[in-house]
Copies of this chain bind each other. A is one copy, B any other.
Amino acid sequence: MTATITLTTDFGTRDSYVAQLKGVLLQLGPAALRIVDLSHEIGAQNVREAAFFLRCAVPRFAPGTVHLAIVDPGVGSARRALVAEARGQYLIGPDNGIFGWLLDAGAHVHALTATPQSAPGGSVSSTFHGRDVFAPAAARLARGEALAVFGPRVVDPVRLAWPQPVRSGARTSGEVVHVDRFGNLISNIERDALPAGPSWVSLGAEPIGPLRDHYAEVGQGALLALIGSEGLLEVAVRDGSAAVVMGVGVGAKVEVETKSPAGT
């Protein structure tokens, strides 16, 4: 059977860091190994951006997949490293919150206590744990080794608080948590958290309009609010960039006013 290891890093590909990871994985992993690039363009040392990325991406993969994620500003410090199993998939990376939105109560989390090692032909360093600690361990996970062999159980992995929207009567207040390549402003307001009934959205002081189902409900260049592909309310411009048009980004306030269906 083919094992799959995915890669999510902030390394870019102009440097050789990702290439080195891949070499180590292919040397130490199972013979039938599929390496799948998720992203190497996470903002440099932006753990929170990586955590949001993984929150969206990981649930789409099959049980048994190994996800290696390295955005690691604390490399070389005392920060722990983790291997974990959550909903049948495996996660491996620094214990800095990068998996903070995936490690739910049912997850099995262990410390990764290995000393840096090299694949044949290579040297070892104290600064590139991605290559010398995480990749060898990911290769072993993909070969089927159990979590417990990597280190002791961890009960307090770093978790990230999901910024909860605040609901007050008919009003739900949240904020932009991600701006995507198309300039869509993605908020922390989940579809399921909204009261039933027609909703009216504003962004800061700016009225956006009713909550829509499709981009095509408004004309080209018009602003709209809809539930995006993650089930989160987003503000968009049809065939344009809401981030550019509105001049705002992460942290901007979003408000939804919902009329009860009975019109009371």
Across-interface contacts of A227 in B (CB, < 8 A): 125-127
In the bound assembly, the distance between CA atoms of A153 and B54 in angstroms comes to: 39
Q: How many copies of the polypeptide does the oligomer hold?
A: 3
For the complex, count residues of A whose C-beta is within 8 A of B. Answer: 78
Contact of B181 with A239 in the complex, beta carbons under 8 Å:
no
CA A175 – CA B87 in complex, angstroms? Answer: 50
The one of B22, B57, B125 in contact with A36, judged by C-beta atoms closer than 8 angstroms, is B22
CB of A19 within 8 A of CB of B6, answer: yes
B38 touches A35 (CB 8 A): no
Q: Is A16 an interface residue (CB 8 A)?
A: yes
- Once the chains bind, are B32 and A126 in contact (CB under 8 Å)? no
Of the candidates B4, B56, B76, the one whose C-beta lies within 8 Å of that of A214 is B76
Give, as a whole number of angstroms, the nearest-CB distance from A138 to chain B.
Answer: 14
20 chain-A/chain-B pairs, Cβ below 8 angstroms: A2-B31, A13-B40, A15-B53, A15-B181, A16-B38, A16-B54, A16-B56, A17-B229, A19-B39, A20-B229, A22-B36, A23-B59, A26-B61, A74-B216, A87-B121, A125-B228, A126-B213, A126-B214, A126-B226, A127-B215
